[in-house]
Structure 1
Amino acid sequence: MTPITEVEGRRLALSNLEKVLYPATGFTKGEVLHYYATVAGALLAHLRDRPLSFLRYPDGPGGQVFFAKNVPPGTPDWVTTAEVPRVEGPARMVLVQDLPSLMWAANLVTEFHTPQWVIQDPEEADRLVFDLDPGAPATVVECCEVALWLRERLAADGIEAYAKTSGSKGLHLLAAVRGSSSERVTEYAKRLAVEAERTMPRLALHRMTRSLRPGKVFVDWSQNAARKTTATPYTLRARPEPTVSAPVTWEEVEACAAPEELAFGAEDVVGRIREHGDLIAALCEPDSAGRLPD
């Protein structure tokens, strides 16, 4: 029998709580739900008002993994949804606005992916993102070197950057911006990626060509496009172990000498939030947003 629980007045059916989703560590679905409930205070700020794309892995990362954007069948009527413009036509998507909605979505076993704009104004980007993806034998250590350069370059334009792990092998840079379309932010990000490659030709790469990527860090600027999404801060990832896309300090980026130093699991992140709070909370504060240069 599926247990029913109540979350802030909403009744939820939470299924298969003993099911092992991460066989490498024995991490269960119940532990997934406990993780999301524990970090909800930080995570919800980064989900709120952003249409949610689901990367689902109901049988664990080793099973079927599929991506969905439309409202899933059986979505409760109390879960907020909204009509969202898309290149191929409008779609109705989920907005995770509160703890009950978060726990309902987490019960589907999903990575949370969100765009760089909010539903109130899909024509204007409010975040800029770089996805730094290392090509072996490069690792997150090389990503850190590129991230530090990008941080300084963005600062020169009056834009403050924040870092988080991808939860996989790379690093994400995020910044709050205002007053620009997704197209303009994409153009700006591409310009900086090209500049990074020109400055660090043996380390950075702005082109997606896979044959060029071994030993370099691909500076993926394309996720700023309005139709693209990025793993949300604090989301679990569909990896062999329950790794998290975890915010990190610039001191940690500067000091990183080995990949394991910037690899965080669910239990690590719970402790980090307890100790430091949300390291990238400023991204959600309107006053922190910078303007792109003319």
Structure 2
Amino acid sequence: MPAERLRVEVEGHALELSNLDKVLYPQAGFTKGEVIDYYTRIAPVLLPHLRDRALTRIRFPNGVADKSFFEKNKPAATPDWVRVETLPAPGSTKNRETIDYVVADDLPTLVWLANLAALELHTPQWKIGAHPDMLVVDLDPGPPAGLRECSQVAVLMRDRLADDGLDSYPKTSGKKGMQLCCPVAGTQSAEVVTDYAHRIARELEQAHPRLVVSRMAKNLRPRKVFIDWSQNNAAKTTVAPYSLRAQPVPSVSAPLTWEEVEAAAGDGDAVRPFTAAEVLARVDEYGDLLAPLLDGGPEVPVR
């Protein structure tokens, strides 16, 4: 066997890992082996957020500085022990009626995907065969706005959602913005959840017009934070908690405490994208700050 390949057994499944020394994050010198190591170590808190969800991957075979591709359908030569679910394909750009999605329910699947340089993992707000059990809004700052303004909007959004009995949990996008995630009942359609998120975004735009925009036109976004309520559409996915991002350094979509967000609302430097090593240390300190998302929540108000 060539020296660059390594046979391993993960929870009873044989895997062949390749090119472990290949640098996938050139600026940081972060290798594929380190990607696999990160996903292996973060798996106890990551897997519960992936379980039973159709997984979209963004693969970077030659690293983040080179070409990438989205992958929804199962790859060629998918092992027979990997869970695959055939599901309708709303919004498919290839006019498919169904897609054979990979579902990452276990560590062997996660390691297999990491070996394919599937750096980014994205999931919908619903589990297979169910309605949305999570409401997500993406807070996208229009330059020169940044994480300080995102944090200000996050606090406003948290308080408004709390008025309707919804708890929200913040995380960085791993790039320039933030996301708020709310556990919901899983009994309402994506359209109902989307309409609710849109209504709240419009309310905050009307109350804070110099800070918030709810409309998608990019010319409206400079100096404001766009509340992307459309993430709740059945065809949309959001980067999973603890997923790596394709940035110059191996940043992560990392859960935050509300104390950190409140501090960042006054000082934008209080929150920044965290690296893989920092996130592993944060999990050691805090555990999974997004664990409440796994317990369900109330229905969103309808009017």
Range class of TM-score, shorter chain: over 0.9
Partner of 1:14: 17
Match of 1:156 among 149, 152, 163: 163
Partner of 2:281: 271
Partner of 2:235: 227
Partner of 1:112: 121
Q: Per-residue deviation at 1:258?
A: 2.4
For 1:261 and 1:156, how far apart are their aligned partners in 2? Answer: 26
Partner of 1:280: 290
For 2:7 and 2:262, how far apart are their aligned partners in 1? Answer: 46
In the TM superposition, what are the counterparts of 1:196-235 in structure 2 within 5 Å? 196-235=204-243
Q: Give the conservation status (yes or no) of the 8 Å contact 2:24–2:32.
A: yes
Q: Per-residue deviation at 1:56?
A: 0.9
Q: Identity of paired residues, percent?
A: 52
Partner of 2:182: 175
Count residues in correspondence: 290
| C-alpha distance 236-260 of structure 1, shift in aligned 2 (>3 A) | farther
Q: Give the conservation status (yes or no) of the 8 Å contact 2:147–2:271.
A: no
Structure 1 unpaired stretches of 5+: none
Q: State the TM-score, normalized to the length of structure 2.
A: 0.94
Partner of 2:200: 192
Q: Per-residue deviation at 1:120?
A: 3.1
For 1:204 and 1:279, how far apart are their aligned partners in 2? Answer: 26
Q: Per-residue deviation at 1:83?
A: 1.1
Q: Give the conservation status (yes or no) of the 8 Å contact 1:24–1:241.
A: yes
For 1:284 and 1:157, how far apart are their aligned partners in 2? Answer: 20
After the TM superposition, list the runs of 4 or more consecutive aligned residues in structure 1 that deviate by more than 6 angstroms.
none
Partner of 1:74: 77
Q: Per-residue deviation at 1:259?
A: 4.2
Q: What is the letter of the counterpart of residue 237 of structure 1?
A: R
Q: State the TM-score, normalized to the length of structure 1.
A: 0.97
For 1:151 and 1:35, how far apart are their aligned partners in 2? Answer: 31
Match of 1:44 among 27, 47, 55: 47
* Cα RMSD (Å): 1.0
| C-alpha distance 58-177 of structure 1, shift in aligned 2 (>3 A) | same
Q: Give the conservation status (yes or no) of the 8 Å contact 1:139–1:259.
A: no
Q: Does 1:29 align with 2:36?
A: no
Cα shift readout 1:252-272 (whole Å, capped 9, x = no counterpart): 000011246322000000000
Q: Does 1:61 align with 2:64?
A: yes
For 1:76 and 1:125, how far apart are their aligned partners in 2? Answer: 29
Cα shift readout 1:56-109 (whole Å, capped 9, x = no counterpart): 111111101111111111110100000112225221100001000111111111
For 2:229 and 2:18, how far apart are their aligned partners in 1? Answer: 38
